[in-house]
Amino acid sequence: MKASHQTSAIALGSNMGDSWATLQAAIETLAQTPGIFLQARSRWYKTKAIGPTQPDYLNGCVLLQVDMLPQVLLETLLQIEKKFGRVRLEHWGPRSLDLDLLLFDDLIVNTPNLQVPHPRMRERAFVLVPLAEIAPDWVEPVSGYKIKELVQKVDCSDVNLLMKNQ
C-alpha cells in the first residue's frame, strides 16, 4: 500500500483540565506534524461520558491528509496523547486527550493493536455527529453506509453543540 496522500478521520475528546484549550492545541500539534495536513475540523460538542462516573466530554473530529501508513499514524496519535498527559489507568475513564483513528481512506485494517474503521464508531453519536459535519458522504467501508446515514441510526440527545468561540 502506498503511504502518500491518504485521507483519514480522527476523533478528539477530552474531559480533564481545560479541555477546550487541550483540544485546540492537539489540532495545532497535528497540523504541525510532518506528513499530516489538516483538511477540515468540526465544531466542538459537549457529550455525556460513557463508563465510570466522570465529567462530560468535549468531542470533535478532524479530517487529515496524511503521508504515512495507518500504523504510523496510530503511533503518532498515541505520542500526541502522551504529550498532553494521557495516562491509561481505567478503561473508559477520564482523559486529558483521546485521539481515535476512525477511518483511513476506504481501508479495513484488523490487527491486534489497530482496527480501522474504529470498531465502535457506528454506535457512538459523539463521534458520528461531528464527523457528519465534515464528512457526511464518506462511506464507512464495513457497513457500506455514509456517515450522514449512520448518524441517523443513533441517539444524539446527549451530544450538544458547544457555544464557546471556535
Report the chain's terminal Cα–Cα distance, integer Å.
Answer: 37
Give CA–CA dist 71/144, Å, rounded. 23
Nearest 5°: phi and psi at 29? -65, -45
Give CA–CA dist 9/130, Å, rounded. 11
Give CA–CA dist 151/136, Å, rounded. 9
Q: Which helix (H) or strand (E) holds 103?
A: strand 98-104
As given in the structure block, the three cell numbers for residue 96 are 486529558
Report cis status (omega within 30 of 0) of the bond before 117: yes
Instruction: Mark out the alpha helices in 40-100 (DSSP H runs).
Output: 70-83
The set of catalytic residues is 86, 95, 98, 100
